[in-house]
């Protein structure tokens, strides 16, 4: 069973591989990170760990028994007892309930370890899989908004912990 782990320095190689191998897949549903993300990955990883140490974000990876990253589940913009939840699962690991399990776990960690009382999340309104994950894990739809200039619709969710 994959394990949810708080991001550490030694996750960098497996996390880079995860992002690189799934780049085209992720770009189908979220904006591409761009070439600079990969060129500056090591510097960015160090910066993420600094944000985490400051308590403004909490980053997690879902790893298999061999240490390969199967997904990311993150809490960003931590303030006033709330944070924004974001997640992505490798293309080859979808359809197995990993996102649902990881989000459930992180909701517990958010309350118990980080003292958070509520989470927000957003997904493309057409992303039925992501919407289902949020709904199965206790998030309530708050509404949909158009994002400009892209013109796509985003569904926004909220969950008290």
Domains of the chain (ranges; CATH) run 3-160 (3.40.630.30)
pLDDT over 80 (residue 147) = no
Q: How confident is the model at residue 1 (pLDDT cuts 50, 70, 90)?
A: confident
CB atoms within 10 A of CB 32: 11
d(C-alpha 18, C-alpha 33), whole Å: 13
Residues β-bridged to residue 144: 155
pLDDT in tens, 46-93: 999 999 999 999 999 999 999 999 999 999 999 999 999 999 999 999
Six token digits for residue 119:
């989470």
Task: Decide: helix, strand or coil at residue 31.
Answer: coil
């Amino acid at each position: 069973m994959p394990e949810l782990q708080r991001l550490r320095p030694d996750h960098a190689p497996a996390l880079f591989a995860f992002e690189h191998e799934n780049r085209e897949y992720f770009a189908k549903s979220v904006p591409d990170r761009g070439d600079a993300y990969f060129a500056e990955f090591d510097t960015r990883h160090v910066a993420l760990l600094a944000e985490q140490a400051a308590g403004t974000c909490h980053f997690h990876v879902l790893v298999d028994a061999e240490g390969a990253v199967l997904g990311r589940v993150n809490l960003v913009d931590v303030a006033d007892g709330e944070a924004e939840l974001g997640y992505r699962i490798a293309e080859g690991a979808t359809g197995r309930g990993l996102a649902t399990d990881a989000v459930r776990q992180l909701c517990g960690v958010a309350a118990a370890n980080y003292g958070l009382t509520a989470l927000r999340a957003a997904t493309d309104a057409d992303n039925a899989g992501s919407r289902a994950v949020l709904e199965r894990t206790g998030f309530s739809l708050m509404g949909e908004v158009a994002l400009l200039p892209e013109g796509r619709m985003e569904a926004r969710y909220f969950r008290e912990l």
